[in-house]
Amino acid sequence: MPPVIICPACDMAYRRMSPLVSGRTRCIRCHGSLQRAENARIDTAIALAVCALVLLWLANAYPLVTMHVNGASRETTLTGAALGLYHQNYKSLGVLVFLTTVIGPLVQVLTLLYVLMPLWRNRAARGQNTGIRLLTRVRQWSFVEVFMLGTVVALVRLAKFAHVVPGVALWSCALLMLCLSALTSVTGPDQLWRWAARVRT
């Protein structure tokens, strides 16, 4: 590995020093983040990922909200919301919603588990490095926290003419949002590559 670190945001070059013990370093020129110290162990990351997987299942298996109006009631799931758009002939919007709320988080968690489980037993998964790259890319397209607030907005708008009951999936979604952000902070790219490098040596 070359003894130089380059800031990905402004191309400034730095000499690599001894590994960080805590905190992070920032580029002196553009103040972008350069390095982050190790802030968790693989066990923690795996535990959070399994937790996220269970929450993801709950969020998809149970209704998100139930609406009661004039004696009739309607409920929808997370996938149902995407399908609703799809059936109204806005296929691309439906696909977009489905990709960013169901597929994105699912791929993110599964890839993480695929990479971390072997690392935990001191082995490298097949295609591990491509997996880590996939992970950092998919993360940018997983919008659970935005979906959560969108749901709140929808509920407020419905509440004035119907009785709405939040379902199991809504609470799971809220927890999933917290779980995923914790997971992202303990499995930053720096951290993953550090764990991966440790196995080979």
Partner 1 sequence: MRPATGRSLGLMVCLDCHLTVRSVRAPRLRCPRCHAPLHDRKPHSLALTAVLLGSAAILYVPANLLPVMETRTILDDENDTIMSGVVVLLQSGSWPIALLVFIASIVVPLLKILALGVLLYSAWRRSPRGRLQRSRLFRLVEIIGRWSMLDIYAISLLATLVQVQSFATIIVGWGAWAFGAVVILTLLAAHTFDERLLWDSA
Contact footprint for partner 1 (CB under 8 A): 1-2, 4-13, 29-32, 64-65, 67, 69-70, 72, 74-76, 80-85, 88, 90, 92-94, 96-97, 100-101, 129-130, 132-133, 136-137, 140, 143, 146-147, 149-154, 156-158, 160-161, 189-190, 193
- Spatial distance between the Cα atoms of 138 and 106, rounded to a whole number of angstroms: 10
Nearest to 118 by CA among 106, 130, 126: 126
| SS3 state of residue 182 | helix
Distance in angstroms between the alpha carbons of the first and the last residue of the chain? 13
Residue 12: CB minimum distance to partner 1, A: 6
CB of 22 to partner 1, least distance (A): 19
**Nearest approach, Cβ of 176 to partner 1 (angstroms)?**
14
Question: What are phi and psi for residue 25, nearest 5 degrees?
Answer: -115, 150
* Least distance to partner 1, CB of residue 182, Å: 18
- Our CB check for partner 1 shows the closer of 86 and 120 to be 86
Q: Among 185, 182, 142, 171, which residue's Cα sits nearest to residue 55?
A: 171
